[in-house]
Amino acid sequence: MWRGREVPEILLSGDHKKIADWKLEQRLERTRASRPDLMERFMTDLERSSKENS
């Protein structure tokens, strides 16, 4: 528990790669919820970049 909240198990695992991936996913989820317009643009740019590099 930290400040009355349950700590996600992944953060206690010590696996730095998994923690970094989890943090990225959390940031993307917060952005998706608060700024769907930015996520739409990001996904469009990502798809365009992927096609150009193929």
Contacts of 11 (CB under 8 A, 6+ apart): 19, 22
**Residue 11 near residue 22, CB atoms below 8 Å:** yes
Tens-place pLDDT, residues 3-12: 899 999 999 9
Q: What's the pTM value of the predicted model, to 2 decimals?
A: 0.71
Chain centroid, CA 53 distance in Å: 23
Tens-place pLDDT, residues 1-54: 888 999 999 999 999 999 999 999 999 999 999 999 999 999 999 899 988 887
Helix/strand number for the chain, H first, E second: 3, 0
**Residue 10 near residue 22, CB atoms below 8 Å:** yes
Domain ranges of the chain: 9-52
pLDDT of residue 39: 92
